[in-house]
Structure 1
């Protein structure tokens, strides 16, 4: 197995429309790397460039020590798992998994051995003689993964493979793919718009926006230490709350929505500076009061989410656990540890540390 390195990678269409802007990235050998970001951020395009399905306009792509920038997809040593499974409906599971090796002239014994091993890993033995129409969505996706495994690639590429599954199956397949990575130790690149998938599966997350990397890091590092407002709002569910604020002469932040001045523990900019105050829903405690009112509550069993409107018109979400839960229409106060809060420059949205 081997890693992937992107050096100043650029993608343009028609010579004028640029969708990837000078991406530099190193994915270590055996690492599970997730590209995440909103629709249109360039994550699938970047993966397709690694696969060779999109031409690289500028820069280089290395897989291990090989420069694969101008290589055909078949020569790169990668296998891709698509959102749509792309199985042959007239073939059995066994035939689908071994078809690529058969077309490349591999001996029958070798094909059988590799299909059997992939089937064992993915627990598909009882389905080998079935055709795709007789399988569930999750089983079809496992077959698509098995087809990739039998090729013995250096790098696995997953392009939003769980998007077509229902919620329960998505959770099940997340666990299976994570277990697969642990078992075979391969380098994997995974594209998703779902930050929950990214947080639960990745060794490394690459947050993309408008064809540029906003931040790279381990899941909890991005959650705890975001570089800017975009990353802070994208990583974490529900998203971080953002409120308008201004630095005062006392070196604290006036947050009108909270009707208080917050001593955020950062190197404070000059008095009068407009800032954005951030606090995560899970770091806020609700109590009776008159600062703001609860518009709506979502009771999910072990946790509830309160949708709250401040007197300034700004809205925020607060998480509640335990036996006592607030009700819609209640007037409440909010409290939190200032050390858990974040501050961002209102103009650039960069993190103030």
Structure 2
């Protein structure tokens, strides 16, 4: 079994600690995505698993084997980088089989493994081509194929789609999801794009400043975030946050004409500030003589986004369906179903439950 276990993993560069005692269990066959803003430590953590970064403290196990101090080549992992790193003078077939050739594998075995990888990735027609004759998406498939032929226990992807245009990114997301389904290997994938995380992952690990904020399935993180950071990071467009004031069993929301939201969550003392989180699709708007001002509306076809400025100065985004989009500089009233509201401590930003 080729699961991955991190126990109190730490990474320091001199006096600067960038990974802070991470504990994580990735089961065999899981597609796990590390997601978070730039500088959160997701690529560093992946490189620690690969052995490309030394682990300062703690342990890393792959398939129940402690690999913390093991050479990268002996860890049973294969890494796909953001850059394709293909040899320009070699054909697709030669690029994919080069690692096996250098390790002295027989030609027949190399040919068989390259052929199988090419079949999985639909690269059969391109085996005799050189990288310059391929599109960006095809080159990335070759890089993935090079990893497949090694037969690793764990695949590691470090933002592999960042260099592709929007359409190719969608195509390659589908390709990688299909690859995981076909071969069933453990995969760990790093991205800053939460859409990639939501569409690919069995398990998402949300990182911030070298620490894990929350681990769960895409829908667990979307529907039950532990804190404001996770709530705002998972979901597109991001969740709206406005200030509320705690009352007895309710929260009043000045941004929405003082609307009172009854709730059973444990609130702070009356009069204390509470952050109220609402997703754009959960806000309802109607033309009104008073209320929030429509700063801008974007019509994207079947869906539209309206950017509102509330009387309090707070800004929110509202998602609407169809063609009935409020005009810029218009005024609207804003309502919502209290069942869709999330509440967060204004100081710690932790979810109130």
Assess same fold via TM > 0.5. Answer: yes
Cα offsets for 1:287-310 (capped at 9, x unmatched): 122211111011111100000000
Q: Counterpart of 1:24 in 2: which secondary structure?
A: strand
Cα offsets for 1:273-299 (capped at 9, x unmatched): 211111000111111222111110111
Q: Give the alignment's TM-score, normalised by structure 2.
A: 0.98
Q: Distance in 2 between matches of 1:264 and 1:306?
A: 27
Q: Distance in 2 between matches of 1:195 and 1:180?
A: 20
Q: Give the alignment's TM-score, normalised by structure 1.
A: 0.98
Q: Distance in 2 between matches of 1:126 and 1:327?
A: 52
Cα offsets for 1:222-276 (capped at 9, x unmatched): 000000000000000000000011102x321121111122224423232122111
Task: Decide whether the 8 Å contact of 1:251 with 1:271 is kept in 2.
Answer: no
1:172 maps onto 2:171 in alignment: yes
The correspondence of residues 93-108 of structure 1 with structure 2, limited to 5 A, is 93-108=92-107
1:6 maps onto 2:14 in alignment: no
Q: Distance in 2 between matches of 1:312 and 1:228?
A: 24
Q: Counterpart of 1:352 in 2: which secondary structure?
A: coil
Q: Distance in 1 between matches of 2:191 and 2:281?
A: 24
Kindly state the Cα deviation for residue 198 of structure 1 after the two structures are TM-superposed.
0.1
Where does residue 201 of structure 1 map in the other structure? 200
Task: Decide whether the 8 Å contact of 1:264 with 1:342 is kept in 2.
Answer: no
Q: Distance in 2 between matches of 1:32 and 1:83?
A: 18
Q: Distance in 2 between matches of 1:258 and 1:170?
A: 39
Q: Counterpart of 1:71 in 2: which secondary structure?
A: coil
Kindly state the Cα deviation for residue 329 of structure 1 after the two structures are TM-superposed.
1.4
What are the ranges of 5 or more consecutive residues in structure 1 without an aligned counterpart?
A: none
Q: Distance in 2 between matches of 1:76 and 1:47?
A: 13
1:351 maps onto 2:351 in alignment: yes
Cα offsets for 1:81-110 (capped at 9, x unmatched): 000011111100000000000000000000
Task: Decide whether the 8 Å contact of 2:304 with 2:322 is kept in 1.
Answer: no
Greater CA drift, 306-315 or 270-279: 270-279
1:293 maps onto 2:317 in alignment: no
Q: Distance in 2 between matches of 1:244 and 1:324?
A: 29
Q: 1:258 aligns with which of 256, 278, 291?
A: 256
What are the ranges of 5 or more consecutive residues in structure 2 without an aligned counterpart?
A: none
How many residues align? The count is 351
Task: Decide whether the 8 Å contact of 1:264 with 1:341 is kept in 2.
Answer: no
The correspondence of residues 221-232 of structure 1 with structure 2, limited to 5 A, is 221-232=220-231
Task: Decide whether the 8 Å contact of 1:12 with 1:57 is kept in 2.
Answer: yes
Cα offsets for 1:67-91 (capped at 9, x unmatched): 0000000000000000001111110
| RMSD between superposed Cα atoms in Å | 0.8
Where does residue 119 of structure 1 map in the other structure? 118
